[in-house]
């Protein structure tokens, strides 16, 4: 889907989540170091990489969810009626899909992505707020290391931004003892 159709469908899905008291999550995905792919291999190869990454993300996306290329080297997914644990599994699946080498025009291209998540209703009650939160926490951590899954977490009504875990690291319960990764 494109950005416009994603916004329409995701807005409808968030309204459904509100009616049914579901937890939904926006996953913001940004390819790390994509510019060098374009610079070194050309824009045709870069475009092919984006198409292949989109296909891989789609393969890992549930039928109840919405995926779109959001612009440049960014993708976004709205996960519907999803637990924290399932969110982590899906993001791990996306990370693995992006990290598998791509074969484009006889060249092996290796990429990785950075991920930010924000959940409805804890981190925002509309799509714009959720996108902004997922985007901001992802970019803050991307500036540090890249290749991380960053969660915006609300603890006792307070949003703890920038809390993160390296992909594949054990999960904690997110309780009051969770530390901010700022």
CATH of the domain at 15: 3.30.70.270
Residue 152 in domain: yes
Number of neighbouring beta carbons within 10 Å of residue 20? 9
Cβ 118 vs Cβ 134: under 8 Å: yes
pLDDT of residue 93: 94
pLDDT of residue 146: 56
Number of neighbouring beta carbons within 10 Å of residue 140? 16
Strand-by-strand arrangement of the 74-79 sheet: 66-71, 74-79, 24-32, 112-120, 148-155, 158-166
Residue 181 in domain: no
Residue 82 in domain: yes
**Active-site residue set:** 73
Cβ 141 vs Cβ 181: under 8 Å: yes
Residue 129 in domain: yes
Token code pair at residue 90: 């899906």
Residue 171 in domain: no
Residue 128 in domain: yes
pLDDT of residue 158: 40
Cβ 1 vs Cβ 66: under 8 Å: yes
pLDDT of residue 82: 96
pLDDT of residue 142: 78
Total domains present in the chain: 1
Residue 176 in domain: no
Long-range contacts of 8-14 (CB under 8 A, 24+ apart): 9/66, 9/78, 10/66, 10/78, 10/127, 11/126, 11/127, 13/66, 13/78, 13/80, 14/78, 14/120, 14/125, 14/126, 14/127, 14/130
For the stretch 23-74, pLDDT in tens is 999 999 999 888 888 888 899 999 999 999 999 999 999 999 999 999 999 9
| Enclosing domain of residue 118 | 3-166
Among residues 159, 36, 151, the alpha carbon closest in space to that of 92 is found at: 151
pLDDT of residue 149: 53
For the stretch 108-165, pLDDT in tens is 988 889 999 999 999 999 999 999 999 998 887 777 765 555 454 433 344 444 443 3
Share of the chain above pLDDT 90, in %: 60
């Amino acid at each position: 889907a494109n950005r416009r159709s994603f916004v329409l469908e995701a807005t409808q899905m968030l309204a459904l989540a509100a009616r049914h008291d579901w937890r939904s999550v926006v996953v913001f995905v940004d390819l790390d170091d994509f510019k060098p792919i374009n610079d070194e291999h050309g824009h045709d190869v870069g475009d092919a990489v984006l198409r292949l990454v989109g296909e891989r993300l789609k393969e890992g996306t549930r039928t109840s969810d919405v995926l779109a290329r959001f612009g440049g080297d960014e993708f976004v997914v709205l996960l519907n009626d999803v637990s924290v644990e399932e969110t982590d599994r899906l993001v791990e699946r996306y990370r693995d899909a992006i990290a598998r080498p791509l074969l484009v025009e006889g060249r092996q291209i290796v990429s990785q992505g950075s991920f930010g998540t924000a959940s409805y209703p804890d981190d925002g009650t509309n799509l714009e707020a959720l996108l902004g939160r997922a985007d901001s926490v992802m970019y803050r951590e991307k500036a540090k290391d890249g290749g991380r899954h960053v969660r915006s977490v609300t603890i006792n009504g307070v949003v703890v931004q920038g809390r993160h875990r390296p992909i594949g690291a054990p999960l904690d319960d997110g309780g009051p003892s969770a530390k901010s990764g700022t």
